[in-house]
Amino acid sequence: KKGTTIHDMLFPYSWPPWLMRKIINNASYVKNTLTGLVVHKIENRTIHVTHHNQSTTSPSSSSSVDLPIRVYTPSGTGPFPLVIFYHGGGWTICSIESHDSVCRHLCNLVNCVVISVEYRLAPEFKYPIPVEDAYAAAIYITQHAVDFNVNTSYVCLAGDSAGGNLSAVTAQLSRDRGGPSFCGQLLIYPSCDLTQTYYPSYDGKCLNLDEADSVWFLNSYIPNVEDRSNPKASPILHHDLSRLPPALILTGEHDRIRDSGEAYGTKLTEAGIPTTIKRYDNVGHGFLLVAPGVEAKSAMEFMCNWLKEAFAAN
């Protein structure tokens, strides 16, 4: 892909994904070091998680892996409420470093522990590995609540874009596989339908994510088209959306995947799940990070207030 905009010149299929990740991470590290919001304590840790293959009960059906996490802890004694955060980036780029500023704000404004999970990325680790990493991390974190000074009665999932997808899928897997339980799911411009079913927002003005971008991400993450209809890939296609945590879904007016996220919110509402859908005007995909301004600040305040209410309601 060639072009003259920053988006065209820097987008990952201009360069190998590993190089794009390195550039984003290094730039994010410098920005976070120089301008990052002060948080009482930030720790980088590694957790050892186990995947369990749900299709077989043989001993060989389990596998283990070490995953990096970043733990943000506010001042105070705790135990604190907890947000488990999955970063966006098309399951292919970005990291806990690129989304550090979002997690710092959540920690300080909500007064909760935030644990950002570094799940493995495509194309090296294709679907369903990022899904199983996300779910296994949630299990580990809630089972080791004392180590993180958190109260497992107050746990919310959160993520943006691909991370919103993983949050929605993790909520469904947790219900279907018997835990853990959550009191909310914060889905920030989530990717909820990977089948490329037509939505009107595909034809509108698209900022920061166009059709070619979406195709590249999907082909990198989940090249088998048939897999895209699995609810573990497209949470909107799950046959049962009952008994899921309350949801907040944030979208941007000029986001190509806006309508699929809002459609998921509508389906959750129809299934009896308390759901809030909030659309921000004049912004595109990824606006919390790539377009920090009035809308981004408003969205941050709105979702932090929603998290506080979700914890209080539980």
Which residue is catalytic, options 161, 167, 174, 220?
A: 161
Which residue is catalytic, options 133, 160, 255, 259?
A: 255
In angstroms, rounded to a whole number, what is the distance separating the alpha carbons of residues 135 and 50?
10
For the question of residue 255 being annotated catalytic, the response is yes
* Neighbouring C-beta atoms of residue 166, cutoff 10 Å: 32
User: Residue 196 has which token pair?
Assistant: 């490329």
In angstroms, rounded to a whole number, what is the distance separating the alpha carbons of residues 137 and 173?
12
Contact by Cβ (8 Å): 191, 259: no
User: Residue 252 has which token pair?
Assistant: 């941007």
In angstroms, rounded to a whole number, what is the distance separating the alpha carbons of residues 36 and 48?
28
* Neighbouring C-beta atoms of residue 291, cutoff 10 Å: 18
* Neighbouring C-beta atoms of residue 71, cutoff 10 Å: 21
For the question of residue 48 being annotated catalytic, the response is no
* Single-letter amino acid code for the residue at 268: L
- On the CB side of 298, CA atoms within 13 Å amount to 13
Which residues are tagged catalytic?
Answer: 161, 255, 285
